[in-house]
Amino acid sequence: MRFCIVMRNIDGNLGDACENRRGRVTMSDTAGPSRRREETRRRLLEAAAEVFAEVGMDAASVEVICDRAGFTRGAFYSNFASKDELFFALVGLVAQERVRSVADRVAALEADGALDMTGGNVVEVVSRVLEIGPEDRLGVLLFNEIRIHALRAPELAAAYLEQDTAILDSVARLVDDIVAGKDIRFRLEPRAVARLLMTVWESTSVRGVMAGLPPAELARHTGEELGRVAAALIER
């Protein structure tokens, strides 16, 4: 299982966090201290994302996170004052990744010309933007772990609601693009359509993970549910 996190380096370049958890460090050992420090933080965050998703924040110990990342406790505490601080850093990265994922899918559809369509494939487009990928099971688990803690921590709740709004805006823009200049009309305004689709996506993905659906079946089931809702929202 690969859990991807993207971080921006001090020099402004984007670093890819998608190698295996015990894979070789991609940055050279001759890199400066700042570069190596960012690589350490990234690997700790990647390991924490996996561990939090697997066992929850409360059961996840610093020792387990360090072992998963291949570092000592000293390396952990030179980057994070506590597990809570690491968790808050991870929340920000997960929020950025969710927003980026939706925006990238919309951009890809635009580049493919998939938004130049008739009502026949509206359902397919919506499903593709919000589809569950093969590696999204851990993402569903992690995001719901974040949601649970957001219910208890006001400062975390603010961050959660901010990223939720950003994703809602991205999906609402997609709905606008679908109907712009086309003979398609939804029964509700774009933001309300986006909220309904997101609610169905979240509920269906959670139920699918609880039911133990394999990745391919989870993706298919979620897409079908989204398709039914999208079809019901289109005026005939």
CATH 1.10.357.10, applies to 83-233: yes
List CB contacts of 57: < 8 A, sequence separation 6 or more.
Answer: 83, 87, 145, 149
Strand-pairing partners, residue 186, are 234
What is the distance between the alpha carbons of residues 191 and 194, in angstroms, rounded to a whole number? Answer: 5
Torsion of CA 19, 85, 158, 132, to 10 degrees: 20
Residues of the chain with CATH 1.10.10.60: 6-77
pLDDT tens digits for range 151-185: 988 878 887 888 788 888 888 887 887 777 667 78
The answer to whether 226 and 201 have CB atoms below 8 angstroms apart is yes
Token pair in block for residue 142: 């992690």
What is the distance between the alpha carbons of residues 181 and 178, in angstroms, rounded to a whole number? Answer: 8
The CATH code of domain 6-77 reads 1.10.10.60
Residue position matching structure tokens 């110990």: 61
pLDDT score at 108:
81
Residues of the chain with CATH 1.10.357.10: 83-233
What pTM was computed for the model?
0.66
pLDDT tens digits for range 16-75: 333 333 333 333 343 456 888 899 999 999 999 999 988 988 899 999 999 999 999 999
What mean pLDDT do residues 88-114 have? 77
